[in-house]
A and B are shown apart, each in its own frame.
Chain A
Amino acid sequence: MASFVKQTFEPVVSTNLYPRSQIDIYLQVIQQDGGMLQACINAATLALIDAGIAMTDYVCACTAGWIEREAAIDLNYIEESSDTSEVTIAMLPKSGKVTLAQMESRLHVDKLEEVLSLAGEGCKQIHQVLDKTIRDRAEDLARKMAA
């Protein structure tokens, strides 16, 4: 999982602005209820922005799966543990480009497209949440500094 997070952020973080330095991302899982990789990626995005590290875009991640002939997003632990397939997508919302696509269970090829596009939709929703959080925090900080 650490390897996936590293490879997801490598093309996005502007490392050329920080020569001869290393950026460490520490992720601690406190509670697990499915969708661990997506939570790690979203948390890392927020942490990197909070740290002020330059990135070309947000990285939003979302899972989607196929449960009983219906595609669904954001599966929890019980849904994941049953014999269903699950796809995790990490996307750059501005350009719609995908930096990570991960699936580790059996799925019919025809269903893959639907599940992938649904996960993409989920990423856009996550982006709105992340964006709002960042902007609120920035306003909060600005207000406190002006006072």
Chain B
Amino acid sequence: MASEPTNLAISPAFTFSASTFQKLHPLEYFRKFASQGVRPDGRLLSSFRPTTVHYGVITTADGSAMVRMGGTTVVCGVKAEVAEPRLHAPDQGYLVPNVELSPICSSAFRPGAPSEQAQVVSEQIHRVLQESKVLDLKELCIEEGKAVWSLWVDVVCVSYDGNICDAALTSVMAALSNVRIRKPTYEEGVVKVAGVDLLDDENSFRLNLARTPLSVSFALLDTDLILLADPNSAEESISQGQIVITLDETGQLCAVSKVGAASSSQQLLKQCIERARERSQELRRIMNQEQ
């Protein structure tokens, strides 16, 4: 690809392979596809990647689920532990969600303390669970003031290809619906959770989810005002903004978030909410199929 010495009238033109072009000019590469109304992976601008949900993937956990959205795979495990209740809520248990983005899923992440992205996603899940009152925490009480169930909800990303928010929240909802906790006995200050027999409706209880909020994310390319549904990691790195719409099963909004990318948004938000409604129904169908 080097040019010939200057005494030649013509020097050979630069030619790139597609993957080289993508590395050098990612935005231009993307625009060539977007001008035709498609994306580099062949989807339409408003299409979502194929999604699968599997339940009970971790037998040692009290509840678990694995969600795949295209190349993004997350596994969520829920573990119930007897703990002392928090001082301000002696008759309520609590949920502790945590999202882990480690080098196993992508070379973009470094080992060590949770990155900002992981913390933001964990916090988002915590807020949705809290504000939408997904679970009546009083159901997790064993003995008021003394012992309650604390649920450790751990989401581990196994493979990262963008849109961790949707995959993580979907896996949390799926895992929570899969949880079975053995009924404890409480006497003289000691909680007994015993038994080697298999869990059934007699000796265990399931969680009663008041609602199941699911989120739908879009990436925003400001310069072209292009909206991409379910961005993969390449699209996330070239986009300037993100819109996340969280809806429950009745179609009511649980959370709306729009960050980055200045835009006159009323029309855009409406469009997103419409698309998010359809997608949320589709996701629920997929979740119910597997159960």
**Chain A residues near B (Cβ < 8 Å):** 3-4, 7-8, 10-12, 87, 92, 95-109, 112-113, 116-117
**Chain B residues near A (Cβ < 8 Å):** 116, 119-120, 127-128, 131-132, 222, 240-241, 248, 251-266, 269-270, 273
Contact A95 B253 (CB under 8 A): no
For B116, the chain A residues whose CB sits under 8 A away are: 3
Contact status of A102 and B257, CB under 8 A, knowing A11-B262, A97-B264: yes
- 27 A-B interface contacts by CB (under 8 A): A7-B241, A8-B260, A11-B222, A11-B261, A11-B262, A92-B262, A95-B264, A97-B264, A98-B264, A101-B257, A101-B265, A101-B269, A103-B253, A103-B256, A105-B131, A105-B132, A105-B255, A106-B132, A106-B252, A106-B254, A107-B256, A108-B253, A112-B253, A112-B256, A113-B266, A113-B270, A117-B266
Query: How far does the Cβ of B224 sit from chain A's closest Cβ, in whole Å?
Result: 14
Contact B260 A7 (CB under 8 A): yes
* Majority secondary structure, B binding face: mixed
Known: A105-B131, A108-B253. 14 other contacts (CB 8 A): A4-B259, A10-B240, A12-B262, A95-B262, A95-B264, A98-B262, A98-B265, A99-B260, A100-B259, A102-B257, A104-B255, A109-B252, A109-B273, A116-B269
For B248, the chain A residues whose CB sits under 8 A away are: 106
Bound-state Cα–Cα, A97 to B120, Å? 24
Contact A99 B131 (CB under 8 A): no
Query: How far does the Cβ of A53 sit from chain B's closest Cβ, in whole Å?
Result: 17
For B265, the chain A residues whose CB sits under 8 A away are: 97-98, 101
For A7, the chain B residues whose CB sits under 8 A away are: 241, 259-260
Query: How far does the Cβ of B242 sit from chain A's closest Cβ, in whole Å?
Result: 8
For A87, the chain B residues whose CB sits under 8 A away are: 256
For A117, the chain B residues whose CB sits under 8 A away are: 266
Pick from A8, A97, A103, A116: contact of B263, CB under 8 Å: A97
For A12, the chain B residues whose CB sits under 8 A away are: 262
For A10, the chain B residues whose CB sits under 8 A away are: 240, 260
Task: List the 7 shortest-distance A-B pairs measured between CB atoms, nearest first.
Answer: A101-B258, A97-B262, A7-B259, A103-B256, A98-B265, A7-B260, A99-B262
Query: How far does the Cβ of A51 sit from chain B's closest Cβ, in whole Å?
Result: 21
Contact A109 B258 (CB under 8 A): no
Bound-state Cα–Cα, A114 to B44, Å? 31
For B262, the chain A residues whose CB sits under 8 A away are: 11-12, 92, 95, 97-99
Query: How far does the Cβ of A87 sit from chain B's closest Cβ, in whole Å?
Result: 7
Pick from B131, B251, B258, B260: contact of A104, CB under 8 Å: B131
